Amino acid sequence: MTQELMTVDNAYMPALSVPQAVMRFNTLVEFVQTVMRDGVDFGTIPGTPKPTLFKAGAEKLTTLFGLTVRFNIVEQVEDWNSDEPFFYYWYRCSLLRGDRLIAEADGSCNSRESKYRWRWVSAQDVPAHLDIAKLVKRGGTISEFTFAVEKAETGGKYGKPLEHWQAFQSAVETGTARLIKRKTNAGKEMDAWEIDSTLYRVPNEDIASQVNTVQKMAQKRAFVAVTLIGVNASEFFTQDIEDIGLAGDGMSYVPPAVVVRNAFDDPIKVAKDLKIQAPSSDLVDLSEFAAAVKALRKCERETSGHPPEFMQSQAEDSALLAAEYAASRGRLYTWITSKVDASPSLEELDDASLIDLATATAGL
């Protein structure tokens, strides 16, 4: 009877003693500080409280604890034949030590996430059947190899409109072009000129070539999520969002709330950093700001409470809205301070107060 009671009691006791738990924690801390590398195994997104764990870091952590990784497909959709092919993968990743299951987590990815569904191109690369006036646009950069700018070919395989080459040549002459290194298709780095330009969002007509990427992304999201759970690393890292770029152009994703918070420091710079095209006119329309506030709040309501996969798929749209909000807030405040000598600082004004101040300044 005593042995039976001891067995029942042990079933509810911790798997580790306190000294063992302390040793495990200290080992994890030492490993993170001495073995894992910033920028390789993890990275810091500006404004976020913790670094995000990358796939390379997750691999090191699972190896440290002797864990075996196993993937199982939960659901998949592969529609190759519709007008807009669609691919969706939902994976479950399990961590095992021997035959014992340590943790499980899910991850998904689909071809209609913004980074796969759309491409950002310059005006001359917009397909002829699309109405460029109806396309979403933003500020961006384009580049050409220096030798290509010198040749300025308008015909043949690499030919482009004369206006394209004139824009580069003018920027070079005025000193606004930036000399960069750009890789050729063969991987060789060569000198290139980079200039500012307007980019247009067009459908990705070659989405089928992204199928393997979408599948691997779903696996990676599940893998990083389960690693945080299985090795108790959530204290040090958050879910991996390194894969969420804006239109896949190398820019890091910045959560909308962070964009808005940073906008108090320099809203116009925030908008430019996110490559949002500002209006050519300095005239500030109060309704523009009100519309921006409304759009951002609507986006926040619609994404609140949804799983990370949904938030990731909405990353580009919500970041764009937040940046537009930041820019319009800054423009409105700039206009107010140009009319009124003494004004509260921008960070002291919430949206309603900013609108009230603008209304009063305009005498409405």
Tell me the three-class secondary structure of 233-251, residue by residue: CCCCCECCCCCCECCCCCC
146 φ, ψ (degrees, to nearest 5): -60, -40
State pLDDT tens for residues 294-307. Answer: 555 555 555 555 44
Residue range 322-344: mean pLDDT, rounded: 66
State pLDDT tens for residues 108-149. Answer: 999 988 888 888 888 888 898 999 888 888 777 888 999 999
Task: Check residue 266 and give its pLDDT.
Answer: 45
Spell out the domain ranges in the chain.
Answer: 2-115+207-230, 128-203, 256-362
Q: How far apart are CA 271 and CA 266, in angstroms?
A: 9
Residue 310 has pLDDT above 50, yes or no: no
Q: How far apart are CA 251 and CA 249, in angstroms?
A: 6
Residue, of 155 and 336, whose pLDDT is higher = 155
Residue range 148-176: mean pLDDT, rounded: 88
Residue 356 has pLDDT above 70, yes or no: no
Crossing angle of helices 18-34 and 55-64, in 10° steps, is 140
